[in-house]
């Protein structure tokens, strides 16, 4: 049964890769407007909710509880030194993105975007950055759903299924495998995006390990995405 779940995740990731690549190719070929960016966020929200529903159905079918997939209270039962290092690193990331969110220094305008000399990774991110109030609201909701469903899928469900299917697999390898899957799912961001999200996945994976709960990982994931809402100064809707 767990092997079947692993194969299902593999198929899902392939679909996500193809879907993401096609959508970004279309977005980059068009003049990105308010309607297009709002529609993009809404589609992500629907896709995320559908993913969560599918995950919960599989858990119900297999008798996997919410506790099994990390939806449980925080508990610090791991190596103290490793726990402290992980929490400090995550704390620094949170502070950095908080500073970027509130500091005028990091605020961009439409004129700052669209530089053709930038990498494909930056072009993708800038295309998706919300500009108007409607875009920012849609992007904020998208940040919530993405933070929840991606963490439950990668750090919760896949983490648990791997441990059940391969009980002798080191926790380090489980974190690395789930993080690599997480990175590949962001194929639409290019090689740089895959590497960066894989590294982020490793840190989020260790945060899950040391806290024994997905809640901190979900929050940090959400907040990193949510900071994009404040990257560009708000413009009036056209």
CA dist., res. 196 & res. 82, Å (int): 22
Query: For position 123, what pLDDT does the model report?
Result: 67
Predicted TM-score of the model (pTM): 0.91
In a domain, 235, yes or no: no
Domain that holds residue 23: 2-230
57 domain-assigned: yes
In a domain, 103, yes or no: yes
Which pLDDT score is estimated for 152? 97
238 occurs within a structural domain: no
Q: From the CA atom positions of the chain, what is the Rg in Å?
A: 18
* 3-state SS track over 173-203: HHHHHHHHHHHHCCHHHHHHHHHHHHHHHHH
Residues 6+ apart with CB under 8 A from 78: 209, 210, 212
Residue (of 28, 30, 26, 235) closest to 123 by Cα position: 28
Considering its fold, how many domains does the chain have in total?
1
- Residue ranges of the chain with per-residue pLDDT less than 70: 30-32, 105-106, 109-124, 236-238
Q: Tell me whether residue 171 is in a domain.
A: yes
φ, ψ for residue 6, nearest 5 deg: -65, -40
Query: What pLDDT was estimated at residue 88?
Result: 97
Say if 22 falls within a structural domain.
Answer: yes
Q: Which residue has the tokens 């930056």?
A: 122
Q: Is residue 236 part of a domain?
A: no
Let me know if residue 7 belongs to a domain: yes
């Amino acid at each position: 049964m767990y092997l079947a779940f692993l194969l299902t995740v593999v198929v899902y990731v392939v679909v996500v890769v193809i879907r993401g690549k096609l959508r970004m190719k279309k977005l980059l070929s068009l003049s990105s407007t308010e309607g297009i960016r709002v529609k993009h966020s809404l589609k992500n929200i629907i896709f995320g909710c559908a993913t969560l529903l599918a995950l919960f159905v599989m858990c119900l079918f297999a008798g996997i509880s919410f506790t099994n997939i990390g939806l449980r209270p925080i508990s610090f039962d791991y190596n103290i030194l490793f726990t402290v290092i992980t929490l400090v690193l995550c704390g620094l990331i949170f502070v950095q993105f908080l500073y970027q969110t509130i500091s005028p220094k990091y605020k961009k305008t439409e004129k700052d975007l669209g530089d053709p000399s930038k990498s494909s990774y930056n072009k993708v991110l800038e295309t998706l950055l919300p500009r108007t109030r409607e875009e920012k609201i849609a992007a904020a909701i998208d940040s919530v759903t993405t933070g929840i469903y991606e963490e439950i899928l990668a750090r919760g469900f896949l983490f648990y299924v791997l441990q059940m299917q391969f009980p002798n697999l080191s926790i380090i390898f489980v974190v690395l495998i789930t993080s690599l899957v997480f990175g590949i799912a962001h194929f639409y961001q290019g090689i740089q995006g895959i590497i960066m999200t894989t590294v982020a996945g490793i840190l989020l994976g260790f945060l899950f390990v040391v806290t024994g709960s997905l809640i901190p990982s979900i929050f940090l994931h959400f907040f990193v995405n949510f900071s994009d809402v404040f990257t560009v100064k708000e413009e009036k809707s056209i």
